[in-house]
């Protein structure tokens, strides 16, 4: 049996005390343990940002790449070996800003990976600039008049683009979040979990108290994740209240199953028949 | 004197110039002749002005010729633009119903004959028929080619094309042509391949299993050719959402354990630079083809250049080891690809294979057998190779700088990689000892890499003057050297195939033998020339540079060198 403690990593943590990322890491460990997934079956891929440091704080295989590009790396890795579970950690700036096009492409491919977006509505690593999900008017040192652009809504965007698994979690509700991550990992296809995350250093608007008052669990309220119209409604806040939980789920064909060649097993393990290659080259 | 005839076919894009060229090329190929076909086209799908230049010989051909013996002008523009290139005794077949043949121009109602044979689309076949007939090719040669090309189509299609070809042959029957020659009846001398196809076949031979790309001329054809084999081999070719995605996918696939590559041109390569650095610091083997075209930015999208050398040397921040290989011929490119994957795995570095539009889009007879390497060593370790897999460190310090490479999710050994500077186990580190240790570890691979580098190929290395170039211009330079020697200039050639790491000692020795050396490059500033200066202290006397986007002709190189020699 795999236990959450198996993922315990003694590498020095580099986040601020009270950071929302701690809750996310704990939820990840719970989910991996719940699925009995040992570290050698899991690959964590991340971009750049505070969220992207996450893989360093779990004991696992990981590839910590470039800002915005984690989904592309994860896609290549999954195509190469689709037997492994791939989890991607990105921040809101990383995923929705720098990596926006890869986000759209990952939805279209329906690549079977689980994307955790640590969405704290601010740039933490670079010390507090507005992010793609910051509210208009969000004041920072560089946006003294407040952010001038409207925030994007990643959940609504993912739903509108046909994503098959869309959830919104909250870093303060570790049990719910762990369960969402578990379901995302089990889901055959691309799964997005946008995580409302607190930044204790640079976002003094969207705080623990702020979220505690607003976040509510739609699945407890009886929401059926197969209902796209209801899901679209929950993509947006209801007044002051922010819906969390599994917003939408539908059956889809994951990317690696769309590649006929991969029905024969992971690309990495397939036999490369020398004779056949030689004869193909001879006849080419 | 053997056969050496050039046919130029010109017209609008969409008129099927390439089809005429391919029919001629196949006819030559099947008769046992050698040929080289160079494509020249504008960045448009219809209209404009395009041509294909086909040089035919009974000996291997490595460069286009500036003289045109037979011009097929499918429009007025071609006639006016290229008639001056037609050499003594040459002819022009001009698509016209007007008649009025003279010594040069032979009007043939190509389009009209095509309509009669079943449709305007058959104009290519009429032209091919007329052209082959002028050259003295046996009728059965063209018939054979048409049967191969249209044999699997409806019987009517083949029938119409045979009729079209026949009408082309008849239209020029009895016309005297000084450059007609006796067609041999030999077995094909080798395979008729494009540069892009050779690169793809080389990747297959190297067991490349994953390729990601974003469409960009002139690199796309490498991927088109590779994707043809997706159904038959463990191979996935994915069109990425951009070049940045492509290179990152390749890095991900390689990290997970399969050999992976991408192909692009200058603009795409610029977008891939950060990824190149990521492959450098994470020591992930990747193979990247940069097929050059003139820039900056979009430049001349369908034309040729060798102007990215400096950029490829330095692309991405800071220093990290890389290979840059520039095959000098289609034959060589197959082995270059096999070598590129081997070197990438062996040293855990990115390998750039650089070609250009001229190289990728040209067709030639490859008469060297394309043989698979004996075996492939992936240079990968597993749990069984370790005393304690739990203690595995992906970036362990070693004497060679190359750390044992395990694959993630292949055992108990955890593989951790980061684009941040890291400690031996892959975790981020800002400690001075880790930074210096890892930087030195990566850089010290260069010592081993240097030993892998091949000395430039030389012809007449004892020549008083040497012509120095790199990559695809090798064929033109060699031929220009023969011309110069025939004119009494004691010339030789130095053709670089491996550019980085730079073969410093060897190049110094070669250059110290000559009185003067001239650079021959398809860029505006002699990029290799200055690299030679930087690495050896030796300075070129003059440079023959061409940056109009068109490939060199041997004669123009020879002319310029001769002129330089006369004043020196």
Cβ separation B372–A278 shorter than 8 A: yes
**B493 in reach of chain A (CB within 8 A):** no
| B23 pLDDT above the threshold of 80 | yes
Q: The tokens 């999900």 sit on which residue?
A: A133
Q: Which of residues 250-269 of B touch A (CB under 8 A)?
A: 250-258, 260
Round to whole Å and give the CA distance between B281 and B274: 11
Render B521-561 in DSSP notation, one character per residue.
Answer: ESSSS-HHHHHHHHHH----SEEEE--SSS---HHHHHHHH
Provide mean pLDDT across the span B37-46.
Answer: 85
Residue B498 phi/psi, 5-degree rounding, is -110, 120
Percent of chain A's residues with pLDDT above 70:
100
Q: Considering just the CA atoms, what is the radius of gyration of chain A in Å? A: 19
| B510 pLDDT above the threshold of 90 | yes
Cβ separation B234–A282 shorter than 8 A: no
Do B4-171 and B457-567 share a fold?
A: no
Render B146-208 in DSSP notation, one character per residue.
Answer: HHHHHTTS-HHHHHHHHHHHHHHHHHTTT---TT---------SSEEEEHHHHHHHHHHHTT-
The pTM assigned to this predicted structure is 0.97
Contacts of B419 in chain A (CB under 8 A): 48, 64-66
How near does any CA of chain A get to the CA of B82, in Å? Answer: 34
Burial class of residue B97 (count of CB atoms within 10 Å of its CB; 0-12, 13-18, 19+):
exposed
- The verdict on whether omega for the bond into residue B296 sits within 30 degrees of 0, i.e. cis, is yes
Q: Looking at residue B545, what is its pLDDT?
A: 98
Cβ separation A62–B258 shorter than 8 A: no
Cβ separation B210–A261 shorter than 8 A: no
How near does any CA of chain A get to the CA of B230, in Å? Answer: 8
The backbone region for B460, taken as left when phi is positive above 0, alpha when psi lies in -120 to 50, beta otherwise, is left
In Å, the largest CA–CA distance within chain A is: 70
Are A150 and A230 spatial neighbours (Cβ–Cβ below 8 Å)? Answer: no
E-strand spans in B244-284? 260-264
Q: Which of B12-21, B88-97, B270-279 has the lowest mean pLDDT?
A: B12-21
Its domain, for residue A127, covers 4-283
For residue B262, the chain A residue with the least C-alpha distance is A76
Mean predicted lDDT score pLDDT of chain B: 96
Pairing of strands B47-57, B4-13: antiparallel
CATH number given to B457-567 = 3.40.50.920
Contacts of B249 in chain A (CB under 8 A): 72-73, 75-76, 79
For residue B197, the chain A residue with the least C-alpha distance is A284
Q: How far is CA B296 from CA B55, B265, B299, in A?
A: 31, 11, 5
**B205 in reach of chain A (CB within 8 A):** yes
Which of B212, B248, B372, B418 is the best residue to mutate to test the A interface, defined by the most A CB atoms within 10 Å of its own CB?
B248
pLDDT in tens, B231-286: 999 999 999 999 999 999 999 999 999 999 999 999 999 999 999 999 999 999 99
Compare CB distances from B248 to A56, A66, A273 and report the shortest one's residue. A66
| B44 pLDDT above the threshold of 90 | no
Q: CA-CA-CA-CA torsion for B473, B479, B484, B487, nearest 10 degrees?
A: -160
**B295 in reach of chain A (CB within 8 A):** no
Mean predicted lDDT score pLDDT of chain A: 97
Task: Indicate the helix (H) or strand (E) that contains B363.
Answer: strand B363-366
SS3 label, residue A93: helix
CATH architecture type of domain B4-171: 3-Layer(aba) Sandwich (3.40)
For residue A272, the chain B residue with the least C-alpha distance is B234
Cβ separation B275–A69 shorter than 8 A: yes
Q: Looking at residue B559, what is its pLDDT?
A: 98
Using pLDDT thresholds of 50, 70 and 90, give the confidence band for residue B43. confident
**B272 in reach of chain A (CB within 8 A):** no
Cβ separation B420–A102 shorter than 8 A: no
How near does any CA of chain B get to the CA of A94, in Å? Answer: 14
Buried residues in B399-432 as b, exposed as e (16+ CB within 10 A): eebbbbbbbbbbbebbbbbbbbbbbbbbbbbeee
For residue B427, the chain A residue with the least C-alpha distance is A56
Cβ separation B242–A39 shorter than 8 A: no
Q: Looking at residue B17, what is its pLDDT?
A: 84
Using pLDDT thresholds of 50, 70 and 90, give the confidence band for residue B47. confident
CATH at residue A112: 3.40.50.970
Cβ separation B416–A74 shorter than 8 A: no
Compare CB distances from A268 to B258, B370, B420 and report the shortest one's residue. B258
Using pLDDT thresholds of 50, 70 and 90, give the confidence band for residue B560. very high
Domain edges within chain B:
4-171, 193-366, 383-450, 457-567
Which of B380, B393, B408, B412 is the best residue to mutate to test the A interface, defined by the most A CB atoms within 10 Å of its own CB?
B408
CATH architecture type of domain B193-366: 3-Layer(aba) Sandwich (3.40)
Contacts of A55 in chain B (CB under 8 A): 416
Buried residues in B296-307 as b, exposed as e (16+ CB within 10 A): eeebbbbbbbbb
CA angle B532, B533, B534 (to 5 degrees): 90
Residue A117 phi/psi, 5-degree rounding, is -100, 115
**B148 in reach of chain A (CB within 8 A):** no
Are B226 and B204 spatial neighbours (Cβ–Cβ below 8 Å)? Answer: yes
Round to whole Å and give the CA distance between A119 and A154: 10
Instruction: Please give the tally of structural domains in chain A.
Output: 1
Cβ separation B275–A66 shorter than 8 A: yes
For residue A273, the chain B residue with the least C-alpha distance is B233
Tokens of B148: 């191969």
More confidently predicted of A284 and B435? B435
Q: Looking at residue A265, what is its pLDDT?
A: 97
Cα within 13 Å of Cα(B11), Cβ side: 24
Pairing of strands B105-108, B86-95: parallel
Who contacts A180 (Cβ-Cβ below 8 Å, separation ≥6)?
A27, A167, A169, A193, A245, A246
Cβ separation B409–A65 shorter than 8 A: no
Are A54 and A25 spatial neighbours (Cβ–Cβ below 8 Å)? Answer: yes
Which residues on neighbouring strands pair with residue A243, listed in sequence order?
Answer: A216
Q: Which of residues 414-443 of B touch A (CB under 8 A)?
A: 414-420, 426-428
Are B3 and B181 spatial neighbours (Cβ–Cβ below 8 Å)? Answer: yes
In Å, the largest CA–CA distance within chain B is: 88
Provide mean pLDDT across the span B16-24.
Answer: 89
Q: The tokens 């290179």 sit on which residue?
A: B247
Compare CB distances from B234 to A39, A83, A261 and report the shortest one's residue. A261
Are A64 and A215 spatial neighbours (Cβ–Cβ below 8 Å)? Answer: no
Compare CB distances from A105 to B245, B255, B282 and report the shortest one's residue. B245
Cα within 13 Å of Cα(B276), Cβ side: 30
Which residues on neighbouring strands pair with residue B458, listed in sequence order?
Answer: B494
Q: Looking at residue A198, what is its pLDDT?
A: 97
Q: Which of residues 342-371 of B touch A (CB under 8 A)?
A: 370-371
Burial class of residue B537 (count of CB atoms within 10 Å of its CB; 0-12, 13-18, 19+):
exposed
- What was the ipTM of the complex prediction? 0.98
Percent of chain B's residues with pLDDT above 90:
93
| B1 pLDDT above the threshold of 60 | no
| B99 pLDDT above the threshold of 90 | no
pLDDT in tens, B362-410: 999 999 999 999 999 999 999 999 999 999 999 999 999 999 999 999 9
| B566 pLDDT above the threshold of 60 | yes
Cβ separation B234–A56 shorter than 8 A: no
How near does any CA of chain A get to the CA of B506, in Å? Answer: 35
Compare CB distances from A76 to B210, B371, B409 and report the shortest one's residue. B210
Pairing of strands B191-194, B68-73: unpaired
Cα within 13 Å of Cα(A172), Cβ side: 20
Are B425 and B394 spatial neighbours (Cβ–Cβ below 8 Å)? Answer: yes
| B228 pLDDT above the threshold of 80 | yes
For residue B192, the chain A residue with the least C-alpha distance is A284
How near does any CA of chain A get to the CA of B133, in Å? Answer: 29
Cβ separation A75–B249 shorter than 8 A: yes
pLDDT in tens, A2-36: 999 999 999 999 899 999 999 999 999 999 999 99
**B86 in reach of chain A (CB within 8 A):** no
Compare CB distances from B257 to A68, A80, A101 and report the shortest one's residue. A80
Q: Which of A132-141, B144-153, B515-524 has the lowest mean pLDDT?
A: B144-153
SS3 label, residue B11: strand
pLDDT in tens, A267-281: 999 998 999 999 999
Give CB contacts under 8 A, 24+ apart, made by B397-404: B397/B424, B397/B437, B397/B441, B398/B441, B400/B444, B400/B445, B400/B447, B400/B448, B401/B440, B401/B441, B401/B442, B401/B443, B401/B444, B401/B445, B401/B447, B401/B448, B402/B346, B402/B347, B402/B348, B402/B445, B402/B448, B403/B283, B403/B348, B403/B441
| B432 pLDDT above the threshold of 70 | yes
């Amino acid at each position: 049996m795999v236990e959450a403690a198996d993922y315990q990593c003694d590498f020095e943590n580099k986040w601020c005390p009270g950071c929302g990322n701690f809750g996310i890491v704990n939820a990840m460990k719970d989910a991996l343990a719940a699925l009995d997934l040992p570290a050698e079956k899991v690959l964590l891929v991340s971009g750049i940002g505070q969220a992207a440091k996450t893989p360093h704080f779990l004991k696992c295989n990981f590839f910590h790449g470039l800002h915005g590009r984690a989904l592309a790396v994860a896609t290549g890795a999954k195509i190469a070996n689709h037997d492994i579970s791939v989890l991607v950690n990105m921040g809101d700036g990383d995923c929705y800003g720098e990596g926006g096009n890869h986000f759209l492409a990952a939805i279209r491919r329906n690549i079977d990976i689980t994307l955790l977006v640590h969405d704290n509505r601010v740039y933490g690593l670079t010390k507090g600039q507005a992010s793609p999900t910051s509210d208009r008017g969000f004041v920072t040192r560089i946006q003294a008049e407040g952010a001038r652009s409207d925030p994007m809504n990643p959940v609504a965007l993912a739903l509108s683009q046909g994503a098959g698994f869309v959830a919104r979690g909250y870093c303060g509700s570790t049990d719910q979040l762990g369960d969402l991550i578990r379901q995302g990992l089990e889901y055959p296809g691309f799964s997005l979990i946008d995580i409302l995350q607190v930044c204790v250093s640079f976002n003094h608007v969207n705080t623990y108290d702020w979220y505690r008052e607003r976040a509510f669990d739609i699945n407890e309220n009886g929401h059926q994740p197969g209902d796209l119209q209801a899901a679209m409604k929950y993509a947006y806040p209801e007044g002051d209240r922010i819906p969390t939980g599994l917003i939408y789920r539908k059956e889809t064909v994951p990317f690696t199953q769309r590649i006929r060649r991969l029905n024969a097993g992971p690309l990495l393990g397939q036999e490369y028949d020398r004779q056949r290659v030689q004869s193909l080259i001879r006849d080419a | 004197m053997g056969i050496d005839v050039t046919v130029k076919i010109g017209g609008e894009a969409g008129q099927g110039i390439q089809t005429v060229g391919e029919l001629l090329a196949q006819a030559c190929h099947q008769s046992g002749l050698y040929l080289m076909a160079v494509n020249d086209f504008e960045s448009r799908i219809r209209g404009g002005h395009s041509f294909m230049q086909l040089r035919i010989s009974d000996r291997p051909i490595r460069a286009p010729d500036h003289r045109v013996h037979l011009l097929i002008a499918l429009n007025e523009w071609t006639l006016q633009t290229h008639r001056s290139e037609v050499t003594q005794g040459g002819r022009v077949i001009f698509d016209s119903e007007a008649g009025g043949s003279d010594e040069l121009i032979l009007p043939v109602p190509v389009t009209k004959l095509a309509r009669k044979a079943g449709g305007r689309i058959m104009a290519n076949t009429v032209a091919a028929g007329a052209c082959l007939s002028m050259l003295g090719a046996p009728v059965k040669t063209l018939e054979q080619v048409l049967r191969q090309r249209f044999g699997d189509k409806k019987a009517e299609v083949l029938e119409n094309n045979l009729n079209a070809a026949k009408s082309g042959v008849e239209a020029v029957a009895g016309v005297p042509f000084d450059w007609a020659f006796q067609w041999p009846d030999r077995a094909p001398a080798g395979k008729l391949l494009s540069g892009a196809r050779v690169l793809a076949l080389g990747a297959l031979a190297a067991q490349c299993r994953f390729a990601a790309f974003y469409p960009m001329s002139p690199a796309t054809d490498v991927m088109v050719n590779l994707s043809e084999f997706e159904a038959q081999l463990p191979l996935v070719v994915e069109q990425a959402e951009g070049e940045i995605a492509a290179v990152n996918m390749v890095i991900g696939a390689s990290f997970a354990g399969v050999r992976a590559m991408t192909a692009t041109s200058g603009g795409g390569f610029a977008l891939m630079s950060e990824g190149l650095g990521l492959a450098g610091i994470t020591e992930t083997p990747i193979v990247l083809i940069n097929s050059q075209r003139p820039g900056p930015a979009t430049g001349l999208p369908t034309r040729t250049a060798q102007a990215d050398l400096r950029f490829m040397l330095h692309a991405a921040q800071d220093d990290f080891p890389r290979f840059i290989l520039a095959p000098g011929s289609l034959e060589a490119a197959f082995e270059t690809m096999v070598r590129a994957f081997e070197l990438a795995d062996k040293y855990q570095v990115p390998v750039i294979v650089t070609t250009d539009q001229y190289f990728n889009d040209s067709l030639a007879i490859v008469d060297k057998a394309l043989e698979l390497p004996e075996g492939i060593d992936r240079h990968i370790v597993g749990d069984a190779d370790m005393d304690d897999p739990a203690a595995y460190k992906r970036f362990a310090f070693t004497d060679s700088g190359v750390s044992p490479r395990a694959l993630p999710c292949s055992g108990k050994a955890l593989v951790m990689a980061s684009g941040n500077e890291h400690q031996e186990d892959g975790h981020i580190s800002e400690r001075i000892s880790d930074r210096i240790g890892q930087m030195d570890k990566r850089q010290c691979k260069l010592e081993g890499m240097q030993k892998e580098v091949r000395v430039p190929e030389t012809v007449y290395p004892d020549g008083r003057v040497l012509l120095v170039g790199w990559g695809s211009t090798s064929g033109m330079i060699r031929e220009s050297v023969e011309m110069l020697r025939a004119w009494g200039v004691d010339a030789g050639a130095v053709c670089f195939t491996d550019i980085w790491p730079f073969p410093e000692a060897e190049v110094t020795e070669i250059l110290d033998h000559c009185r003067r050396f001239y650079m021959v490059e398809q860029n505006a500033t002699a990029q290799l020339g200055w690299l030679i200066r930087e690495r050896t202290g030796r300075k070129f006397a003059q440079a023959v540079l061409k940056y109009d986007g068109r490939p060199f002709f041997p004669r123009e190189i020879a002319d310029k060198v001769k002129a330089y020699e006369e004043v020196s």
